Amino acid sequence: MEERRLGPVVGLGTWNTFDADAALAGDVVGAALEAGVRLFDSSPMYRGAESALGAALAGRRDGVSVATKIWASSVEEGREQFHRQLEWYGRVEIEQVHNLVAWREQLAWLERERDDGRIDRLGVTHYASGSFPELAEALRTGRFDTVQLPYNPHEREVERELLPLAAELGVAVIVMRPLGEGALVRRSPAAEELAPLREFGIETWAQALLKWVLSDERVDVAIPATSRPERTAENAVAGRPPWFGPEERRLVERLAG
Ligand SMILES: NC(=O)c1ccc[n+]([C@@H]2O[C@H](COP(=O)([O-])OP(=O)(O)OC[C@H]3O[C@@H](n4cnc5c(N)ncnc54)[C@H](OP(=O)(O)O)[C@@H]3O)[C@@H](O)[C@H]2O)c1
């Protein structure tokens, strides 16, 4: 798989897939590691997924980036979340302020943790376009190293300001919802409609959508979530070049409707 600033370009999301089911998490994470995935995104909001991820990574933590989040309105609660994360993961490679919640308040202590070496990079996330102006404001402080945002053929608002801004500031980009929370893959185009993409290594519609995202060179990593171990290998294939040009991207946009 191609590697960019955050490592291999296909990671794994953990929202609404294995929750606290440690056995399922072990299967999904194990298959993802086998497929070359090295970045795992989670959050205290994801109903036990953080601890299940920690158990799944036990004994195979080397070379892995945990990208989790602080989702707390007070500093005290944020610190408690971080304390638990250190127990599960030892350290946190990418610590993100979830949905911009109390980001100004959380930043100061998070920066100290980064300076002390328990965090490598600080990030910030939001899923809603109404909050993109504030997300841009947070990036302009120069205090964040990564941003996580939604990007797929049906959600392209980030092309207006956030992707150009991230590129200008040197902020690494993590793409959530690359499959539109599953809505884009519920129906697949016919095999012959995907035929022009075969020379790009594309065999499935999910791969075409992921390669659409990753063919934008401002993106560092896409984090599709799945509860099915075998799909992690399918999704990882989309992380290999060659990348789509404008023509192939337009085809995927047309097929996505
Ligand atoms: N949704 C948000 O608002 C949000 C917000 C902040 C952060 N995030 C982060 O971003 C990650 C990704 O976003 P997301 O989980 O919302 O949506 P997503 O990754 O766009 O879509 C996930 C859905 O796609 C399906 N899927 C995955 N691979 C597939 C394949 N090869 N073929 C067919 N279906 C496939 C999964 O179903 P199966 O389980 O059946 O495979 C799942 O229902 C999250 O898990 C989370 O870590 C999301």
* Ligand 1 mean position, distance from CA 182 (Å): 6
**SS in 3 state form for the chain?**
CCEECCEECECEECCCCCCCCHHHHHHHHHHHHHCCCCEEECCCCCCCHHHHHHHHHCCCCCCCEEEEEECCCCHHHHHHHHHHHHHHHCCEEEEEEHHHCCHHHHHHHHHHHHHCCCEEEEEEECCCHHHHHHHHHHHHCCCCCEEEEECECCECHHHCCHHHHHHHHCCEEEEECCCHHHHHHCCCCCHHHHHHHHHHCCCCHHHHHHHHHHCCCCCCEECCECCCHHHHHHHHHCCCCCCCCHHHHHHHHHHHC
Q: Which residues line ligand 1 at a C-beta cut-off of 6 Å? A: 13-15, 17, 41, 125, 127, 176-182, 185, 206, 223-228, 231, 234-235
Percent of the chain topping pLDDT 90 = 100
Residue closest by Cα to atom 17 of ligand 1: 181
User: How close is the Cα of 110 to the center of ligand 1, in Å?
Assistant: 28
Predicted local confidence at residue 130, as pLDDT: 97
Residue nearest to atom 9 of ligand 1 (CA): 176
pLDDT (tens digit per residue) in 130-155: 999 999 999 999 999 999 999 999 99
Q: What's the confidence (pLDDT) of residue 115?
A: 97
Confidence of residue 16 (pLDDT cuts 50, 70, 90): very high
Q: What local confidence, expressed as pLDDT, does residue 155 receive?
A: 98
* Nearest of 181, 174, 14 to residue 89 by alpha carbon: 14
- Please write the tens of the pLDDT for every residue from 45-86: 999 999 999 999 999 999 999 999 999 999 999 999 999 999
Taking residues 213-221, report their average pLDDT.
98
The predicted pLDDT at position 118 comes to 98
Atom of ligand 1 nearest to the CA of 181: 17
Residue with tokens 């990671």: 11
Cα of 76 vs centre of ligand 1, distance in Å, is 30
Could you read off the pLDDT of 171-214 as tens digits, one per residue?
A: 999 999 999 999 999 999 999 999 999 999 999 999 999 999 99
CA of 245: how far to CAs of 166, 211, 217, 241, in Å? 21, 10, 11, 11
- pLDDT number for residue 97: 98
Q: Mean pLDDT in the chain?
A: 98
Atom 10, ligand 1: residue with shortest CA distance: 176
In the prediction, which pLDDT does 93 show?
Answer: 98
Q: What is the pLDDT of residue 25?
A: 98
* Type of residue at 238: A
Q: What pLDDT is recorded for position 13?
A: 98
| pLDDT-above-70 percentage for the chain | 100
pLDDT given at position 84 = 98
Pocket test for ligand 1, best of 181, 186, 187, 234 (most atoms within 8 A of CB): 181
Closest atom of ligand 1 to CA, residue 15: 45
pTM over 0.95: yes
